[in-house]
Structure 1
Amino acid sequence: MSIFVLIASVFILFSCKSEIKDNSDKFKIGVFEIPAGDGYGKTTITRIDSLQIEEYEKIISVSNDSTISEKRIKHIDTLYIKWKNNFFYTLRMKSPKKEMDKDPIYVQITKVTDTSYDFTAKIGFSKFKQDGTVFKVK
């Protein structure tokens, strides 16, 4: 009887198919977008090898006497990207301009779909934390 149970157990173990499909590595290279947020326009990200190039507009309010207008300043940042695994990577500014830019950005992928992923990012060991969604464009 125990041989039958052992054979049945092995059969069941090998016939089960995992429903978890890990194709998150598709986000390591390509062109991506982060939708516009508070104070920022849409961010376009290009990943090539170990580099990530981010293009975005920073939106600032400018007040002259009684009028308030919006000014958009285009930024391009180049960062080094290092993947620990398919769900965690670290970003470092190639040419930091401020002291805070010297700290690494730790990014944890929390959810993956066919065309996007949700993430939580943390700068260095600070309390700053940001959640967002990245969409693959190309």
Structure 2
Amino acid sequence: MKYLFGIALLFTLASCYDVERNCTDFQTGSFYSEITIHGQIYKSEFKRSKYLQIETYNNKVDSSQVRWINDCEVVFKTINPKSMAEQKDIHLKILVTTDSTYTFEYSYVGEKLKQKGKAFKIK
């Protein structure tokens, strides 16, 4: 009987935890992001409108078409790719949001290797 009560309590507490995802708050605006790959932090700034994202990384500007799959998932397509890697579309999924940040994972479309990062809204 003790075990049954413990299991019921565990399920009750676990079902109360809900991750906040107000993704529509981050579909447009100005942001900067931080991504850590092999211990190295990469930072970029970007402005996103409904159909376009302009990103600055290492003093280089890159523009992408934006296509929202749903409120929390988007695909980016580089407008003028200069390499084979830039020709690949990028899929980004917002995992968690706060009032001014979102945590995301991204990968090239069709690839299993995913990276994680965090974006911060610039006011």
Q: TM-score, normalised by structure 2?
A: 0.74
Q: Pick closer, same or farther for the CA change 1:39–1:111 going to 2, 3 Å.
A: closer
2:90 maps to which residue? 105
1:24 maps to which residue? 23
Q: Larger radius of gyration, structure 1 or 2?
A: 1
2:114 maps to which residue? 129
What is the CA-CA distance between 1:112 and the residue it aligns to? 1.0
Query: What SS is found at the alignment partner of 2:25?
Result: helix
What is the CA-CA distance between 1:124 and the residue it aligns to? 2.3
Distance of 2:100 and 2:19 partners within structure 1: 16
AA aligned to 1:126 is E
Q: In structure 2, list runs of 5 or more residues that go unmatched.
A: 1-17
AA aligned to 1:45 is F
Distance of 1:107 and 1:21 partners within structure 2: 17
Q: In structure 1, list runs of 5 or more residues that go unmatched.
A: 1-18, 58-73
Q: 2:81 matched to 1:116? A: no
Query: What SS is found at the alignment partner of 2:47?
Result: strand
AA aligned to 1:110 is L
Q: TM-score, normalised by structure 1?
A: 0.66
The one of the two structures with greater contact order (alpha-carbon pairs below 8 A, sep at least 6) is 2
Calculate percent identity across the aligned residue pairs. Answer: 29
